[in-house]
Amino acid sequence: MYNRILVAVDGSENALRAVREAVRMAQGNPDAQISMITAVPLANPVFGYTPLITPQQVEDAERKAEAEVLKKAEEVINQTKQAAELAKKEGLNVQSLVQVGDPAQTIIEYAAKENQEVIVMGRRGMGVLKELLLGSVSGKVLQSAPCPVLLVH
């Protein structure tokens, strides 16, 4: 039985399934603490300073990229709040947090720093070829996590 459960939430249906699984794992354990983490990547538009691109265009692109990241973060935060309410209805101790940075690295570092006992996360199911070529957050977490990882389909 796990007492410290970390759930990675990214706005996907699989993430919501992961929350449900974490709630199921924690039920009946009064010492269980569920931490839901949302890791938002930094906005990083790739531009070089050339005669064709002005500094103002670069600044505008950076502002637009930042706005898109904030919009996505807001959507994920709303899902996280809904998931937290689901867990709280079951009488569980839940906290949620948002971190900025590489999602896989952020999840791994938080799990290690906070001595999490298990990480529960959804698997996107990109497909074997795409996943082999690009990797995935769940794959990276699975390889480097300091604790067991449960992938939920």
pLDDT digits (tens, 9 = 90+) for 69-111: 777 777 777 777 777 777 777 788 888 888 888 889 999 999 9
Residue with tokens 């007492």: 3
Tell whether pTM > 0.85. no
Separation of alpha carbons 97 and 99, rounded Å: 7
Residue 87 amino acid letter: A
4-8 β-sheet, strand order: 93-100, 33-40, 4-8, 118-122, 149-152
Residue 131 has pLDDT above 60, yes or no: no
